[in-house]
Amino acid sequence: MILPHVTPGRTTLDDPAVAEVLAEHCADEFSAVDDRMRVALVELQLRARLGGFADAFPEAHARLLVRDGGLVGYAIVDSRDTSIHLVDLVVRPAFRRTGAATALLGELTTEADSSDRDLTLSVTPGSPAERLYAAHGFARVEDAAPDALHVGMRRAAASVPPLREDIR
């Protein structure tokens, strides 16, 4: 199996590729409703989520997950001085459980460790995503209230000495 890779560089939250993946994700979530209603709900989700992320994280950028030249998913990342915050991670339904999220988390943990920064994120308590993040070293930063929609998680930086200039 060929694992997805994260495209080099960064793109903006208004990149059509980001909207394409999110629209497919939302359509899958709303599959039980009729087509006309699903289209309206997906459009509302696109505007609310991407607009909300842009407002809350104005410096955030998107990273695209690609396999064999095809778009698999995206991550919205906000790099800060002391931490890297994973704002959103979405994988197309057909590519879930194929290593796409793991590939991205591997890149982010390497980046965080090499710059001595923590990784942070917010996730729905008890979700498959929370179990994935826990398997990659994230721990809850607080106990979730019984009615909490999201809980913060953190992976502490593993101090990795920078490469010496003479061996780069």
* 162 secondary structure, DSSP code: P
168 within a domain of the structure (yes/no): no
151 within a domain of the structure (yes/no): yes
33 within a domain of the structure (yes/no): yes
Residue-number span of the structural domain to which 82 is assigned: 5-160
165 within a domain of the structure (yes/no): no
Strand boundaries in the chain, DSSP class E: 5-6, 61-67, 70-79, 83-91, 118-123, 139-140, 151-155
166 within a domain of the structure (yes/no): no
CATH code, domain carrying 137 = 3.40.630.30
| pTM for the model | 0.78
Nearest to 73 by CA among 152, 11, 124: 11
Residues of the chain with pLDDT below 70 are 1-13, 144-147, 159-168
SS3 at position 110? helix
In the chain, the number of structural domains is: 1
> From the CA atom positions of the chain, what is the Rg in Å?
17
First-to-last C-alpha distance (Å) of the chain: 31
SS3 at position 166? helix
52 within a domain of the structure (yes/no): yes
134 within a domain of the structure (yes/no): yes
Tokens matching residue 99: 């290593």
67 within a domain of the structure (yes/no): yes
pLDDT for 168: 45
